[in-house]
């Protein structure tokens, strides 16, 4: 009985060897690097979303979709550092009727309308709100996808 327990223990411990087929140990097993955290970048089904910057980055490009007249997309951007918030829109269609309609600062002040690009002086820490929509005084109704690039410097 003792002999079979020893044989089973030897088999168990030999099967748990972490070496690779060439005899070297796996170097990533002791690594202290954390895997990158996935950051959501596809918001094509949302009309209100919060952007999270990737770790150790102050810029991101996300995808969105505008649903037409009176269906704006609102983007919330939490800002804790930096002096300038920049954002730009690149629609899938170059003649798209899309712009930044309004920007709301953390202190409640608002500004706008803007074109397809905006550079704002960061007045304080907090959540900035970008409202993306159509210029109702120009062109036909537009529905479609766009890329939004945001950076804080």
Domains of the chain in start order, with CATH, are 42-152 (2.60.120.380)
* Residue that is written with structure tokens 């608002």 in the block: 110
pTM beyond 0.85, yes or no: no
Output the average pLDDT for the chain: 81
Mean pLDDT of 89-114: 94
Q: Which residues contact 142 (CB under 8 A, 6 or more apart)?
A: 66, 68, 91, 93, 96, 97, 98, 134
CB of 16 closer than 8 Å to CB of 29 = no
Q: How far is CA 60 from the centre of its chain?
A: 6
- The predicted-structure confidence for 33-59, as pLDDT tens digits, reads as follows 554 556 778 888 889 999 999 988 999
CB of 102 closer than 8 Å to CB of 113 = yes
Q: What 3-state DSSP class applies to 141?
A: coil
pLDDT tier for residue 16 given thresholds of 50, 70 and 90: very low
Instruction: Give pLDDT, residue 13.
Output: 43
């Amino acid at each position: 009985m003792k002999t079979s327990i020893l044989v089973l223990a030897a088999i168990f411990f030999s099967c748990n060897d972490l070496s690779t087929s060439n005899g070297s140990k796996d170097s990533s097993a002791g690594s202290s690097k954390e895997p990158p955290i996935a950051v959501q970048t596809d918001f094509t089904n949302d009309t209100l979303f919060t952007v999270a910057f990737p770790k150790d980055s102050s810029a991101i490009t996300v995808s969105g979709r505008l649903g037409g007249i009176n269906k704006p997309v609102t983007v919330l951007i939490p800002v804790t550092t930096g002096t300038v918030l920049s954002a730009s829109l690149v629609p899938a269609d170059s003649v798209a009727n899309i712009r930044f309609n309004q920007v709301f600062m953390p202190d409640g002040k608002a500004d706008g309308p803007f074109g397809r690009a905006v550079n704002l002086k960061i007045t304080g820490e907090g959540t900035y709100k970008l409202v993306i929509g159509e210029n109702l005084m120009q062109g036909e109704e537009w529905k479609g996808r766009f890329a939004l690039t945001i950076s804080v410097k």
